Amino acid sequence: MTIDELTSLGESQSSVILSKSCTLLPREGNPEPRYCDLPHGSINSMGLPNLGYQKYGEFAPLLKKYNKPYFVSVSGLSLADNIKIISDLSDIQEIAAFELNLSCPNVIGKPQVGYDFNQTRQVLGEVMRITKKPLGVKLPPYFDFAHFEEMAKILNNHKISFVSCINSLGNGLFIDADSEKAVIKPKGGFGGLGGEYVKPTALANVRKFYELLRKDIAIIGVGGIATGRDAFEFLLCGASAAQVGTAYQQQGTAVFARLEKEFAAFLEKKGCHSLDEVKGKLKTINN
Ligand code: IRO
């Protein structure tokens, strides 16, 4: 969220710097406690705290020295806000791409756009007309094949560059039996689940969209990646890159060097010489 955090991503082994999702105006977000580490992941209801989109534009030249793509995540509270943010930031040369977040589960009174197919169709139609940069979409998890198909049809109709699957699994509830309380404060304790809890859902979403989307739409896998072996599983399902949320929150930027090392060692143990040998090559049980 801050320039210090983005700078430390610049200095890390991550291959991209991705900002916190931004809105038109700065936001404090929801009251604390709003994030909690759990035995197998995390729950959060941050509520979109961010410094306002203009700051993420101003940071762009400061991050240039790291020689890696800087992606700005955009999560305007309305279509008009998304259009304003993307058109204003489009002329900043040091921004490589936008990730349009259609799936924040934690803003009170704002349902996730990605669960409303008509709204998604409208937002993408409008936003794709004005962006001068590659644009990807961060999707919520889907659970029904009919929904995967409907969303894929919409995405295939637009010149999007990538999808990131998945955002946190919205509105879980983690409680502590001793205190008889929820572990986070906003929304009566309901929040987005991340980490190990969501990995099978994330793999399923990557796999389904790999089957259904145009091949020029890259898939960024996200949801429970904590080891090189996890990253390999996402590659097998069809992901071209990995995004790390909970493990980054828990371990800081050192996680990227460890993941890279473990992933390379895993590929070597398998005797793989290129990612294309593995990408999307998941086997199924046929007899
Ligand atoms: O509450 C948040 O800030 C938040 C966002 I924007 C999101 O996209 N996903 C999430 O789990 N939390």
Residue-range domain boundaries for the chain: 3-29+48-170+198-277
104 assigned to active site: yes
Residue whose CA lies nearest to ligand 1 atom number 5 = 104
Ligand 1 centroid distance, CA of 266 (Å): 31
CA-to-CA separations, 44 to 6, 31, 48, 168, 273, in angstroms, rounded: 20, 11, 11, 9, 38
Q: In the structure encoding, which two tokens stand for residue 211, read together?
A: 């089957």
Alpha carbon 204 to its chain centroid, in Å, reads 15
* Rounded CA separation 143/201 (Å): 8
Distance 75 CA to ligand 1 centre (A): 9
139-164 average pLDDT score = 98
Ligand 1 pocket, Cβ-based, cut-off 6 angstroms: 21, 44-48, 75, 101, 103-106, 167-168, 192
Distance 106 CA to ligand 1 centre (A): 6
The residue-averaged pLDDT of 226-241 equals: 98
Looking at ligand 1, which atom is closest to the CA of residue 194? 11
- The span from the CA of 54 to the CA of 13, in Å, is 26
Report residue 236's pLDDT band, with 50, 70 and 90 as the boundaries. Answer: very high
Quick: pLDDT tens for 11-67: 999 999 999 999 999 999 999 999 999 999 999 999 999 999 999 999 999 999 999
Measured distance CA(238)–CA(11) in Å, rounded: 28
Provide CB contacts within 8 A for 182, sequence distance 6+. Answer: 173, 174, 175, 176, 188, 189, 190
> DSSP for 146-169?
HHHHHHHHHHHTTT--EEEE---E
Give the pLDDT band (50/70/90) at residue 287: confident
Terminal alpha carbon distance of the chain: 49
CB 133 within 8 A of CB 99: no
Q: List the residue whose alpha carbon is closest to atom 8 of ligand 1.
A: 104
Q: Is residue 85 within 8 Å of 22, Cβ to Cβ?
A: yes
Residue 227: what are its φ and ψ, rounded to 5°?
-140, 165
Question: How much distance in Å is there from the Cα of 101 to the middle of ligand 1?
Answer: 9
CATH architecture for segment(s) 3-29+48-170+198-277: Alpha-Beta Barrel (3.20)
Q: For residue 81, which amino acid is it?
A: D
Question: Could you identify the residue written with the tokens 């039996």?
Answer: 177
State which of 43, 104, 185 you would mutate to test the pocket of ligand 1, scoring each by most atoms of that ligand within 8 A of its C-beta.
104
Alpha carbon distance 180, 45 (integer Å): 19
Report the pLDDT value the prediction gives residue 177, as an integer from 0 to 100.
98
211: three-class secondary structure by DSSP: helix
Kindly list the distances between the CA atom of residue 27 and the CA atoms of 44, 51, 142, 167, in Å, as whole numbers in the listed order. 16, 6, 28, 20
- The residues pairing with 50 across neighbouring beta strands, listed in sequence order, are 27
Which among 36, 104, 165, 237 is annotated as catalytic? 104
Tens digit of each residue's pLDDT (9 = 90 or more) over 104-120: 999 989 999 999 999 99
Where does 17-93 have alpha helices with state H?
Answer: 53-63, 79-89
Task: Report pLDDT for 77.
Answer: 96
Q: Which atom of ligand 1 is nearest to the CA of 138?
A: 8
pLDDT band at 88 (very low <50, low <70, confident <90, very high): very high
Q: Which residue has the tokens 């008009």?
A: 80
User: What is the three-class DSSP state of 6?
Assistant: helix
Which atom of ligand 1 approaches the CA of 21 most closely? 6
Backbone angles phi, psi at 164, to 5 degrees: -110, 120
Which residue's CA is the nearest one to ligand 1's atom 9?
A: 104
Mutate to test the pocket of ligand 1, among 48, 107, 198 (most ligand atoms within 8 A of CB): 48
Token representation of residue 10: 């610049």
**What is the pLDDT of the chain when averaged over all its residues?**
97
Looking at residue 188, its pLDDT comes to 98
pTM: 0.98
Average pLDDT over residues 112-130: 97
pLDDT in tens, 167-216: 999 999 999 999 999 999 999 999 999 999 999 999 999 999 999 999 99
